[in-house]
Amino acid sequence: MDAVNIKDLVFSYDEQHDTIKGISFVIPKGSYTTIIGHNGSGKSTIAKLMIGLLEAKSGTIEILGQKLDESTVYSIRDHVGIVFQNPDNQFIGSTVADDIAFGLENHCVPQEKMQAIIEESAAKVNMINYLDSEPTKLSGGQKQRVAIAGILAIEPEIIIFDESTSMLDPQGKKSINEQIKKLHEKKNVTIISITHDMEEVAQSEHVIVLKDGKVAMSGKPMEIFDKEEALHEMKLDIPFALKFSKELKKEGIFDKNECTLEGVVEALCQLKQMN
Amino acid sequence: MNNIALGRYIPFDSVVNRMDPRAKIMIMLFLMIAIFVPAGIWGYILIAAFIILALKLSKLSLGFALRSVKPMIFMMVILLVINILVIKTGVPWLQIGWFSVYSDAVYQTLYIVVRLMLMIIITTILTATTKPLDLTLGIEKLLHPFEKVGLPAHIIAMMISIALRFIPTLIEETQRIMNAQASRGVDLENGSLKEKVMAVLSLIVPLFVSAFDRADQLANAMEARGYDPQKPRTRYKVLSMHSIDYIGLILSVLILVCCISIQVLGLA
């Protein structure tokens, strides 16, 4: 059973121009997939379709083996969490604890169990000291971490990040990316991240590249980054670490390319040991 | 903009902050009714004394309470002007040509101003000491009996809580748009009335566009987190009444009774 199985999905906002023009892909359970594409390629629309916020014109979406339709949308949402782009517009409670509780209340978790779950989820995203803080007192990165905690609280099997780091400063971005990585390594959750951030793409296992509402490419990050020309055509770039390692390879210092910063650092350290 | 006191929660750790929101709402209602009972100066002194006590207990300053009245000053001045022009009874205090000021005009304005001020300060104390979500929970629980006659209490409560939650966010946004427009040469302070109206328009339109955009995203976020207004939900916060709540309730009822007796017995 796959986490997500999308077949021939078509969607349009205005009945005339299709935003999604027949997309099919499969995301295996427990994997970490990034979806990239230029503005208007339909990547955020895909996220909204996957949790039933938008209704497809044709095609099917299966989440954890369950076909998404009007009757299953609420039970599917029990298993799928989504972190949106704007940190302010998804903060519903008046404090961190209230906001984490919102999802629990919706899922009818008994009141006496809530406090423990809230504390546990806040601790996972390092927000345990902010339980009584108001959203206006938090930074963008902290608000996004609260949003993640709110989702972890309901223990979904799939977590979608819809450009969750695009409104954050570099520090906030880094902390969220680390959080995502940690989630993927420690828990058995399927992670689907829609992103602009190539550093994040490098840390994922699988990449789907969208172009004009269609899947243009898909594969492992390295396979995608190899097609640098095609990426440039879609106004996408390769990560800085990869650019750096390519230059070093050209000079004959590296014998293979690395696309993550950690990989580059490790390769450099090995070089030092060899010399 | 940041010193707007009306409707903002101040996270102090005070006795009033810890009170049950239901009790606080009921106290507010009793005092509101008391304000509308024409009990003369003694009635208002009683209510004002209660307010000062509440301010002390909630660690809020008198200045904070008075600041909350500030946005109403303009309205009060207009009221005074209209009353001076319309009310021509009582003792004439001033007579310049056709223009005259009678005592009743001033007294009546003062009367309304005092009522308004008391009401605003009471509301400010309530919102400053009660978290929006607690307030909503209180309203919901108080309205609960009316659900039997088809009143969607929890939906109303959710709407109020979100409106309250977004007040600071929208104030921030307004400030940002004001700065952005000012940097583009929009002058919000000087110019003729027509120019000022146009300037305000340049503030209102983007503010509304962004508010609708926010609302849309918020609705998505709520739905994605499993919110369904038709479904039952459990509650994180549980309300419980303590002795301080009962004392407050009894005091406010006493004030109401006092005001009514003053009126009925004709002591005013």
Closest partner residue to B133 (CB to CB) among A51, A98, A154 is: A98
Tell me: pLDDT of B130 over 90. no
Q: Which percentage of chain A shows pLDDT scores above 90?
A: 37
- Give residue B4's pLDDT: 53
Query: Rounded mean pLDDT of A255-271?
Result: 81
Q: How far does Cα B204 stand from its chain's mean position?
A: 22
Highest-confidence segment of A16-20, A81-85, A240-244, B194-198? A81-85
The reply to whether B131 and B157 lie within a common domain is no
pLDDT grade, residue B5 (50/70/90)? low
The reply to whether B137 and B167 lie within a common domain is no
Query: Rounded mean pLDDT of B172-196?
Result: 85
**Dist CA B222 CA B246 (whole Å):** 36
Q: Which percentage of chain B shows pLDDT scores above 90?
A: 26
- Give residue B268's pLDDT: 58
| B233, part of any domain | no
Rounded to two decimals, the ipTM of the complex is: 0.84
Task: Verify whether the Cβ–Cβ distance B234 to A104 is below 8 Å.
Answer: yes
Tell me: pLDDT of A256 over 80. no
Say yes or no: A94 contacts chain B, CB-CB below 8 A.
yes
| B147, part of any domain | no
Kindly list the residues from chain B whose CB atom is less than 8 angstroms away from the CB atom of residue A82.
221, 224
Say yes or no: A89 contacts chain B, CB-CB below 8 A.
yes
The reply to whether B136 and B203 lie within a common domain is no
- Give residue B30's pLDDT: 94
**Dist CA A224 CA A205 (whole Å):** 11
Query: Rounded mean pLDDT of B227-235?
Result: 86
Minimal C-alpha gap between B218 and chain A (Å): 5
Instruction: Return residues 138-197 of A near B (CB < 8 Å).
Output: 150-151, 154
- Give residue B7's pLDDT: 65
* CATH 3.40.710.10 applies to domain A4-235: no
- pLDDT tens for A144-168 read 999 999 998 988 999 999 988 888 8
Closest-CA residue in chain B for A109? B234
Backbone phi, then psi, for B145, in 5-degree steps? -55, -30
- pLDDT tens for A48-61 read 999 999 989 899 99
Domain ranges, ordered by start, for chain A = 4-235, 239-275
Helix ranges (H only) for B19-152 are 21-36, 40-57, 62-69, 73-86, 103-129, 132-143
The reply to whether B258 and B218 lie within a common domain is no
Say yes or no: A98 contacts chain B, CB-CB below 8 A.
yes
The reply to whether B180 and B109 lie within a common domain is no
Long-range contacts of B50-57 (CB under 8 A, 24+ apart): B50/B251, B50/B252, B50/B255, B51/B118, B51/B121, B51/B122, B51/B125, B54/B16, B54/B125, B55/B125, B57/B14, B57/B15, B57/B16
**Dist CA B76 CA B46 (whole Å):** 23
The reply to whether B111 and B169 lie within a common domain is no
- pLDDT tens for B43-75 read 889 999 999 999 999 888 888 888 888 888 888
Task: Verify whether the Cβ–Cβ distance B234 to A150 is below 8 Å.
Answer: no
pLDDT grade, residue B1 (50/70/90)? very low
**Contact criterion met (CB below 8 Å) for A176 and A163:** no
Mutate to test the interface with B, among A106, A131, A143, A146 (most CBs of B within 10 A): A106
Q: Which amino acid is at A175?
A: S
- Give residue B52's pLDDT: 92
Closest-CA residue in chain A for B216? A89
Tell me: pLDDT of B191 over 90. no
Q: State the CB neighbour count (10 A cutoff) for residue A230.
A: 14
The reply to whether B81 and B11 lie within a common domain is yes
Please give the angle made by the CA atoms of A35, A36 and A41, to the nearest 5 degrees.
110
The reply to whether B174 and B209 lie within a common domain is yes
**Contact criterion met (CB below 8 Å) for B87 and B108:** yes
| B146, part of any domain | no
Closest-CA residue in chain A for B134? A94
Task: Output the CA torsion sign for A125, A129, A134, A136.
Answer: negative
* Overall number of domains in chain B: 2
Query: Rounded mean pLDDT of A174-191?
Result: 85
For residue A271, give the nearest of A259, A244, A253 by alpha carbon.
A253
| Residues of B contacting chain A (CB within 8 angstroms) | 9, 11, 131-133, 161-162, 164-165, 168-169, 172, 214, 217-218, 220-228, 231-238
Name the DSSP letter for residue B93: E
pLDDT grade, residue B235 (50/70/90)? confident
The first and second tokens of residue A160, run together, are 């979608």
SS3 B238: coil
The reply to whether B75 and B122 lie within a common domain is yes
Closest partner residue to A77 (CB to CB) among B162, B172, B226 is: B226
Please give the angle made by the CA atoms of A237, A240 and A242, to the nearest 5 degrees.
90
Structural domain that includes position B217: 153-228
- pLDDT tens for B81-99 read 998 888 888 888 888 878 8
**Dist CA A182 CA A86 (whole Å):** 22
Provide the b/e sequence for B55-91 (b: ≥16 CB within 10 Å). Answer: bebbbbeeebbeebbeebeeebeebbeebbeebeeee
The reply to whether B78 and B168 lie within a common domain is no
Query: Rounded mean pLDDT of B163-175?
Result: 85
Kindly list the residues from chain A whose CB atom is less than 8 angstroms away from the CB atom of residue B235.
105, 111
Q: β-strand A158-162 against A58-63: which pairing, if any? A: unpaired
The reply to whether B105 and B214 lie within a common domain is no
3-state secondary structure chain A: CCCEEEEEEEEECCCCCEEEEEEEEEECCCCEEEEEECCCCCHHHHHHHHCCCCCCCEEEEEECCEECCCCCHHHHHCCEEEECCCCHHHCCCCCHHHHHHHHHHHCCCCHHHHHHHHHHHHHHCCCHHHCCCCHHHCCHHHHHHHHHHHHHHCCCCEEEEECCCCCCCHHHHHHHHHHHHHHHHHCCCEEEEECCCHHHHHHCCEEEEEECCEEEEEECHHHHHHCHHHHHHCCCCCCHHHHHHHHHHHCCCCCCCCCCHHHHHHHHHHHHHHC
Q: State the CB neighbour count (10 A cutoff) for residue A119.
A: 15
Kindly list the residues from chain B whose CB atom is less than 8 angstroms away from the CB atom of residue A108.
231-234
Mean of the per-residue pLDDT values for chain A? 88
Tell me: pLDDT of B209 over 90. yes
The reply to whether B115 and B54 lie within a common domain is yes
Backbone phi, then psi, for A36, in 5-degree steps? -120, 170
Report, in angstroms and rounded to the nearest whole number, the Rg of chain B calculated over CA atoms. Answer: 22
